[in-house]
Structure 1
Amino acid sequence: MILSCQNISKSFGTTEVLKNASFHIEAHEKAALIGINGAGKSTMLKIIMRDMSADEGEVVLAKDTSIGYLSQHQDIKGARSIYEEVLSARQNLIEMEAKIRSLETQMKNASQRKLEKLMADYTRLNQSFEMHNGYAYRSEVTGVLKGLGFEESEFTKLVSTLSGGQKTRVALGKLLITKPDIILLDEPTNHLDMASINWLETYLINYPGAVLIVSHDRYFLDRVVTKVIEIDGGKVLSFEGNYHSYSEKKALIRHAAMNAYLNQQQEIKHQEEVIEKLKSFNREKSIKRAESREKMLDKIDRLDKPSQVRDDMHIELTPQITSGNDVLHVEHLSKSFGCERLFSDINFDIKRQERVALIGNNGTGKTTILKILNQIVLPDEGKFALGSKVQIGYYDQEHHVLHMEKTVFEEISDTYPDLNNTMIRNVLAAFLFTGEDVFKPIKSLSGGERGRVSLAKLMLSKANFLILDEPTNHLDIVSKEILENALSNYTGTVLYVSHDRYFINQTATRIIELTNGQLVNYIGNYDYYREKRELLTKAYAPKSEDETTASSTAADSKTDWKKQKQEQAEQRKLENEIKKCESQVEELEIKNDKLDKEMSRPEVSTNVTRCIELSKEKDMIAKELEKLYDRWEKLSEKKETI
């Protein structure tokens, strides 16, 4: 055991955040700390790091254990470059290397007597330097920075000029380079693109130390962690396995706890009714019996009502009118900022009821495409057209659709003047704004709260084409699941940008990836995308050193996206037909076996009429099986050809 938290309690005023919370982390273990926003996750990390004191309980670290911590917000200062800042985490090796170089210089001019001592020091330092991976630490820094999404051309940028997200990535790189025995990470994926998240997953899975992660990224947790520690109502429970395993176990526990609570409530109600009835008889014996039952009832250890999956945030997205089948047509779209070209000659269509995820690395132009479609940004070339009766509802991750000077109430009432005060209050309550909260200025709200206001406006818009830019940012896991359910039941059309792979997996019917300045189309969810990405990227958007070849390939991909979509749809159709064929074969073979058993029975084998009937039935099955075997072979060959 490398870390133990024992009976930790913490209150802020009258709010008890943690109540006798206990858990432990083993050496090399990868664990997640989860809970809704405000549950006390970051508080727990700060208590472990001694940045905050607990009211009760203690944190115990194993002897000589080093610990590293990445908080959500970083404010790195100083005049160092990105590379120098991360490299400074290996200051011990920098100093050791300088000392080795100094000893080499001294040995050139040293006397024989002094040379022996210098040689001994040199050998000792070299061994230590090599043991601590000294000959590779600079390349290791380069690898970590590239893994976290920094280009080599950015290494010389001063950290003082970086955005908050970039500073967090620098801090994460610095932490990983130090390689402490246990790493605490608070929302490490918030400022990473998909490629960087994939790299971090692999890094942490293979990390030799222990890791404790606070994250709302369920796909990330599924891949990395082997234990989930949940904070729920101030109490802590530990579950072995990844997030998916935790989710299943938690549902069973919640169901059992609720049943126990309801059964006890039913028994209490029954006893209270009996007591009341006995008292109503108004006889000495019946009153004594009632008092006896009351005493027994007082001794019952009453169960608290279990916390349920939060259902107090209600999102119901309903289009006012149905659009035409063709919702969006985009052709020859190009956009550059200065000399930096984001994408060129982009073409795609979206049909009614599709839920399309637009993905790609940071800086590829995903949000720019959404802004072009909402006429916030003009394209350099190309055009787009909306289909018949299409009404857009736009969710902006920067919340430009909100007016910072207005209150939450005014934001809704000014946008929808037909709603009365009660209706507005009810809508805001559905998004967890109650009481005086509705009069808070938009500018004073957190990112998650602004997101909820934007979602409330979206719900009221009755739009039939939703364009969403990072809709799950700042939402906790429960809120994400509520939004996922709302979108999955939405009868309109959705186009969204998201880095949340679990969210994409649950909601997308199609994925288009913006890569190498082009779009690659995937008819399926994120798991399908992962399976086919390498193959389809190579075919439709390859990288090439030869500009002519690259241009030619890009031109092909511009006109080929429909063909690509048809090919994938045909392959899916073939796979379904093959499964159907295999199922029919299995049914007939089972039926044939039953006939064999029937014919082997003594009373049947001596019945000529019945034997003839069964033989004819077996002949029909044999002919049908022959046809199915032939069809299965042809379908399989066709699938291989595609």
Structure 2
Amino acid sequence: MLLACQNISKAFGTKEVLKDINFHVNEKEKIAIVGINGSGKTTLLKIIMGEESADSGQVVIAKDTTIGYLSQHQDISFDNTIYGEMLATKQYILDLEANIRRLEQDMKHAEGEELEKILETYNRLSSKYDRDNGYSYESEITGVLKGLGFGPEDYDRHINTLSGGQKMRIALGRLLLTRPDIIILDEPTNHLDMPSISWLESFLSSYPGSVIVVSHDRYFIDRIATQIVEIDNKKATVYHGNYTYFASKRAEIRANMMKAYLNQQQEIKHQEAVITKLKQFNREKSIKRAESREKMLDKIEVLDKPTEVASEMRLTLEPSVESGNDVLTVTHLAKSFGTNCLFQDLDFDIKRGEKVALIGGNGTGKTTILKMVNHLVPKDAGTIALGSRVHIGYYDQEHQVLSLHKTIFEEISDAYPDLTNTKIRNVLAAFLFTGDDVFKKIEDLSGGERGRVSLAKLMLSPANFLILDEPTNHLDIQSKGILEDAIRSYTGTVFVVSHDRYFINRIATRILELKDEQLYSFIGNYDYYESHKDQVYEAAAPKQTDASADTSTAPSATPSGKDDYKKQKEEQARLRKKENDIKKTEQKIEETEAAIAQIDEEFLNPEYATNSAKLGELSKKREELEETLSALYETWETLLA
């Protein structure tokens, strides 16, 4: 065991945040700490690191255990270049290498006992150099930099010239290169694009040390975590598995907890009613009985109500008008900003009922496409056509149409006057506005809070084509789940840009990836994209007919987005037909085997024992069924090949 949190409790004034938190970290274990916003996750990390003191309890760390910590608000002021800062983490390797080179020189001039001592030191230092990856530290540095999105052209850039997000990536890279026994990360994916997040997942999954991470990125947690610590209602519950296991088990546990809570509440009310009735009898025996029941009631340890989202807070979205089948058609779309060409000649379309996720690296033009569809940014070339009866509902964090002087409640109730107060409160609660929060003025809200109000407002609109730009930002895991369920059951059409892969995986029926100024289409969710992307890239790569041909003049065989989409639709149709044929063949096999079994039973019928004609008929029928069964098995094996 490397680290243990034992009965950690913490309060800020009268507000208790953590109560008797217990969990431990073993070698190579990957732990994710989850919980709603404000549940105390970051506070717990600060207590582990000694930046905050616990009111009670203790953090026990094994002797000589090294810990590396990346907070959400890191103080990043490195007076160095990018590569120089990474290299500084390997200074002990450089010092070790210098000592080895010095010993090599000393050996040339030493002999006898002195030489033996030098050789002994040399062998010891060489072993340590080899053990600490000294021979490949440079490739380790370049691998981390590449994984975090920095190429050789960035190595000499001074860190003080970088953006805040880039500086956070440098801080993360430094931490990973120091290779501590325990890596502690607070929301590490906030400043990473999808390729970098994917790289970090692989790095942490294979990391030989232990990891503690706080994150709202459920796909990320699912990929790396071997244990989930959920902080809820000030207490911690440990789940031994990844996020998928946690989500399933948590629902089961919550259902049992809610059942136990409701049963206990019912029993308490029953006992209170009996006590009241006994006291009303106003007799000595009845009063004693009432007092006895009161003592029993006082001894009951009252269960806390589970903080599960109530079913009435689930959002249901339903467009008021059904659109035509063709919702959006984009042809030959092009956009540049100055000399920066984002894309050109893009073709794609979206049909009614599709949930399409647009993904790609930072700066590829995803949000620009959404804004062009909404006529907020002019296109350079191409056409964007909406289908018949299409009504857009648009969510853009940078283009929120809210009345600053109104309260949150007024913003919703004025937009939808037919909604009851209860319905409005339930919708706002789903987006983390509860109690008196609903009476806050819009002008007093943070950017993230305004985004949540806009999203709540949009979810109530009668639009049949929702266009969403990063809708899960600033939502906790519970609220993301509510939004996902609403979109999954939505009968309209959705076009969304998101970095939240778990969200995409749950809602998307098709993925469009904007990569290298090209658009690639994948008919499926994020898991489908992950398993098929290399195959699609390879198929779309330019082919050279002559090995000696000049690559600069070789014709591009990259299919357009529309061609790619058409081919994938054909492939998907072929696969669906194959699956149906397999199912039908398996069903026929079962039916044929059942028919053979039925004939075998008829052979045993005493009535047919002396009826040679009937037995002959059964034998012939059985032979025919056996031939049919043999042919079905051959067909089945061919389909599976």
The two structures share one fold, judged by TM-score above 0.5: yes
1:248-327 alignment to 2 at 5 Å?
248-309=248-309, 314-327=314-327
Q: 1:103 to 1:247 in 2, by over 3 A?
A: same
Quote the Cα distance in structure 2 between the aligned partners of 1:152 and 1:170.
14
Quote the Cα distance in structure 2 between the aligned partners of 1:419 and 1:281.
50
In the alignment, is the contact (CA less than 8 A) between 1:520 and 1:541 conserved in 2?
A: no
Confirm whether residue 391 of structure 1 aligns to residue 394 of structure 2.
Answer: no
Quote the Cα distance in structure 1 between the aligned partners of 2:384 and 2:55.
60
Amino acid at match of 1:553: A
In the alignment, is the contact (CA less than 8 A) between 1:225 and 1:242 conserved in 2?
A: yes
Q: Give the secondary-structure state (helix, strand or coil) at the position aligned to 2:90.
A: helix
In the TM superposition, residue 497 of structure 1 has moved relative to its aligned partner by: 1.4
Quote the Cα distance in structure 1 between the aligned partners of 2:601 and 2:467.
62
Q: Give the secondary-structure state (helix, strand or coil) at the position aligned to 2:6.
A: strand
Q: 1:415 to 1:118 in 2, by over 3 A?
A: farther
Residue by residue over 1:522-545, the C-alpha shift from the partner in whole angstroms, topping out at 9 and shown as x without a partner, is 111122222221111111256999
User: What's 2:573 paired with?
Assistant: 570
In the TM superposition, residue 387 of structure 1 has moved relative to its aligned partner by: 0.7
Moved more, 63-72 or 78-87: 78-87
Amino acid at match of 1:371: K
User: What's 2:129 paired with?
Assistant: 129
Amino acid at match of 1:595: Q
User: What's 1:553 paired with?
Assistant: 557
Structure 2 segments unaligned to the other structure (5+ residues): 545-549
Quote the Cα distance in structure 2 between the aligned partners of 1:411 and 1:82.
50
In the TM superposition, residue 569 of structure 1 has moved relative to its aligned partner by: 2.9
In the TM superposition, residue 414 of structure 1 has moved relative to its aligned partner by: 11
User: What's 2:526 paired with?
Assistant: 526
Residue by residue over 1:457-477, the C-alpha shift from the partner in whole angstroms, topping out at 9 and shown as x without a partner, is 312432111111121122211
Amino acid at match of 1:339: T
In the TM superposition, residue 487 of structure 1 has moved relative to its aligned partner by: 0.3
Confirm whether residue 3 of structure 1 aligns to residue 3 of structure 2.
Answer: yes
Structure 1 segments unaligned to the other structure (5+ residues): none
In the alignment, is the contact (CA less than 8 A) between 2:348 and 2:562 conserved in 1?
A: no
User: What's 1:210 paired with?
Assistant: 210
Q: Give the secondary-structure state (helix, strand or coil) at the position aligned to 1:546.
A: coil
In the TM superposition, residue 80 of structure 1 has moved relative to its aligned partner by: 1.5
User: What's 2:141 paired with?
Assistant: 141
Q: Give the secondary-structure state (helix, strand or coil) at the position aligned to 1:21.
A: strand
Moved more, 370-379 or 607-616: 607-616
Quote the Cα distance in structure 1 between the aligned partners of 2:66 and 2:406.
47
Residue by residue over 1:276-319, the C-alpha shift from the partner in whole angstroms, topping out at 9 and shown as x without a partner, is 44444454444443443333333333333333246585533332
Q: Give the secondary-structure state (helix, strand or coil) at the position aligned to 2:7.
A: strand
User: What's 1:89 paired with?
Assistant: 89
User: What's 1:238 paired with?
Assistant: 238
Quote the Cα distance in structure 2 between the aligned partners of 1:356 and 1:523.
9
Residue by residue over 1:228-287, the C-alpha shift from the partner in whole angstroms, topping out at 9 and shown as x without a partner, is 111111111111111111222222222222222233333333333444444444544444
Quote the Cα distance in structure 2 between the aligned partners of 1:161 and 1:630.
67
Quote the Cα distance in structure 2 between the aligned partners of 1:300 and 1:129.
63
Q: Give the secondary-structure state (helix, strand or coil) at the position aligned to 1:330.
A: strand
Q: 1:566 to 1:78 in 2, by over 3 A?
A: closer
Q: 1:601 to 1:374 in 2, by over 3 A?
A: same
Amino acid at match of 1:399: E
Confirm whether residue 224 of structure 1 aligns to residue 224 of structure 2.
Answer: yes
1:79-228 alignment to 2 at 5 Å?
79-98=79-98, 125-228=125-228
Question: What TM-score do you get using the length of structure 1 for normalisation?
Answer: 0.88
User: What's 1:496 paired with?
Assistant: 496
Quote the Cα distance in structure 2 between the aligned partners of 1:444 and 1:213.
32
Q: 1:153 to 1:499 in 2, by over 3 A?
A: same
Percent of aligned positions that are identical = 55
- Which of 591, 595, 600 is the matching residue for 1:592? 595
Q: 1:411 to 1:469 in 2, by over 3 A?
A: farther
Moved more, 340-349 or 175-184: 340-349
User: What's 1:12 paired with?
Assistant: 12
Confirm whether residue 601 of structure 1 aligns to residue 604 of structure 2.
Answer: yes
In the alignment, is the contact (CA less than 8 A) between 2:67 and 2:182 conserved in 1?
A: yes
Q: 1:313 to 1:178 in 2, by over 3 A?
A: farther
In the alignment, is the contact (CA less than 8 A) between 1:588 and 1:625 conserved in 2?
A: no
In the TM superposition, residue 141 of structure 1 has moved relative to its aligned partner by: 0.8
Moved more, 227-236 or 84-93: 84-93
Confirm whether residue 481 of structure 1 aligns to residue 485 of structure 2.
Answer: no
Quote the Cα distance in structure 2 between the aligned partners of 1:193 and 1:299.
54
In the TM superposition, residue 210 of structure 1 has moved relative to its aligned partner by: 0.6
Quote the Cα distance in structure 1 between the aligned partners of 2:68 and 2:174.
10
In the TM superposition, residue 13 of structure 1 has moved relative to its aligned partner by: 1.8
Quote the Cα distance in structure 1 between the aligned partners of 2:196 and 2:255.
38
Residue by residue over 1:57-93, the C-alpha shift from the partner in whole angstroms, topping out at 9 and shown as x without a partner, is 1111100010001112334124312222222222222
Residue by residue over 1:394-436, the C-alpha shift from the partner in whole angstroms, topping out at 9 and shown as x without a partner, is 222x433256965554993798396799699646455343565
Q: Give the secondary-structure state (helix, strand or coil) at the position aligned to 2:134.
A: coil
Quote the Cα distance in structure 1 between the aligned partners of 2:531 and 2:616.
52
1:290-439 alignment to 2 at 5 Å?
290-309=290-309, 314-396=314-396, 398-402=397-401, 409=408, 412=411, 416=415, 426=425, 428=428, 431-434=431-434, 437-438=437-438
Q: 1:273 to 1:81 in 2, by over 3 A?
A: same
Q: 1:395 to 1:408 in 2, by over 3 A?
A: farther
User: What's 1:537 paired with?
Assistant: 537
User: What's 1:74 paired with?
Assistant: 74
Aligned length: 633
Quote the Cα distance in structure 1 between the aligned partners of 2:197 and 2:152.
19
Quote the Cα distance in structure 2 between the aligned partners of 1:546 and 1:134.
39
Moved more, 505-514 or 61-70: 505-514
User: What's 1:57 paired with?
Assistant: 57
Q: 1:415 to 1:119 in 2, by over 3 A?
A: farther
In the alignment, is the contact (CA less than 8 A) between 2:593 and 2:629 conserved in 1?
A: no
User: What's 2:464 paired with?
Assistant: 464
Amino acid at match of 1:471: P
In the alignment, is the contact (CA less than 8 A) between 1:254 and 1:308 conserved in 2?
A: yes
Question: What TM-score do you get using the length of structure 2 for normalisation?
Answer: 0.89
In the TM superposition, residue 632 of structure 1 has moved relative to its aligned partner by: 4.8
User: What's 2:547 paired with?
Assistant: none
In the alignment, is the contact (CA less than 8 A) between 1:519 and 1:541 conserved in 2?
A: no
Q: Give the secondary-structure state (helix, strand or coil) at the position aligned to 1:268.
A: helix
